[in-house]
Amino acid sequence: MPDTPRIPVRVRATIRGVSIDADGAVRLLDDLVAIYVDEREHAIRIDRVDGVVWEAPALTLHVARDAVELSGHAALQSFGAQIVASALTLPELTRTMHALGSRRGQPGSDHDRFFAGLLAARRAAEGFVESDSRLAAFDAGRLSQTLTALVSDLAAERYPDSAPDRRALEAELLDHVERVHLALDALGDAADQVRASARSARLARWRDWTWAAQRVFEAADRSWMAMLPALAASPIPARRRRFWRT
């Protein structure tokens, strides 16, 4: 986020146990909210802001047990919106993954299908700027159903003519993706917490949700690596060629 010019404000706050009630100024500086009072700078990291509440004419920032009330300038509403927009930025959810797109993960059509749902959800979420739409893009129930259907398809493609083998492989693959389902359940719970939270805690609950989303990607990464031996041991049979007599 680009730095902003200083905005003259009245500051009523408790910051790290210090009470403040004085004229000052505020600005955004990199990933910080910088508050200036009596030539002293108080810096608050945006990723530590738990909530932003605009109730004209005051903007209140909630940071753990502290509260910072800013008033006295018409730009404070948009200033608060900038803080929220920065706080809602999606992290790079694939940064800790080892199987995605790597030689170790054996890229191919099955690999791409396995990760497609999560990657599509991430792309869709990045196209929105507010939290509700981003949460909806990562609908945990839909992602879980898609994963179960994919596992069924992978088994059916390998054993189209043998129901016992198909069921055995499907059961094994379902065991491997159980961690993903559990992570998706936790993601759904975290999304509910965001939706139910007060504005004073909304950004804190959003951070909890992003951590849950990160764990879903990590669980998918581990599950895919665990599935590879079973998939490799059950190659897709070549299509039978039919010869017709005339």
Say if CB 169 and CB 195 are below 8 A apart: no
Rg (CA), the chain: 25
Assigned domain for 213 exists = yes
> pLDDT per residue over 140-179, tens digit each?
999 999 999 999 999 999 999 999 999 999 999 999 999 9
The mean per-residue pLDDT over the stretch 70-89 comes to: 95
- The Cα 129–Cα 125 span in angstroms is 8
**Interior CA angle at 185 toward 184 and 188, to 5°?**
85
Residues 79 and 124 in one domain: no
**Interior CA angle at 18 toward 16 and 22, to 5°?**
125
In whole angstroms, how far apart are CA 182 and each of 71, 152, 179, 218, 221?
45, 18, 5, 12, 14
pLDDT higher than 90, residue 204: yes
Top pLDDT among 43 and 245 is at 43
Assigned domain for 246 exists = no
**Buried b / exposed e along 64-91 (16+ C-beta atoms within 10 A):** eebbbbbeebeebeebbebbbebbbeee
The mean per-residue pLDDT over the stretch 60-71 comes to: 94
Top pLDDT among 20 and 239 is at 20
Say if CB 224 and CB 111 are below 8 A apart: yes
Assigned domain for 39 exists = yes
Residues 135 and 224 in one domain: yes
Residues 124 and 40 in one domain: no
Assigned domain for 240 exists = no
Assigned domain for 96 exists = no
Number of domains into which the chain is organized:
2
The mean per-residue pLDDT over the stretch 107-134 comes to: 92
pLDDT band at 2 (very low <50, low <70, confident <90, very high): low
Mean pLDDT of the residues in the chain: 91
Percent of the chain with pLDDT over 70: 93
Residues 121 and 222 in one domain: yes
pLDDT higher than 70, residue 239: no
In whole angstroms, how far apart are CA 149 and each of 108, 134, 170, 176?
19, 24, 10, 14
pLDDT band at 243 (very low <50, low <70, confident <90, very high): very low
Range of the domain at 36: 7-87
pLDDT higher than 90, residue 36: yes
Reported as type and span, the H/E element at residue 153 is helix 140-158
pLDDT higher than 90, residue 26: yes
Top pLDDT among 151 and 30 is at 151
Residues 67 and 116 in one domain: no
> The domain spanning residue 14 has which CATH number?
2.30.29.30
- The Cα 237–Cα 246 span in angstroms is 28
Percent of the chain with pLDDT over 90: 78
Assigned domain for 184 exists = yes
- pTM for the model stands at 0.89
**Mean pLDDT lowest for which of 21-25, 203-207, 234-238?**
234-238
Residues 176 and 61 in one domain: no
Assigned domain for 34 exists = yes
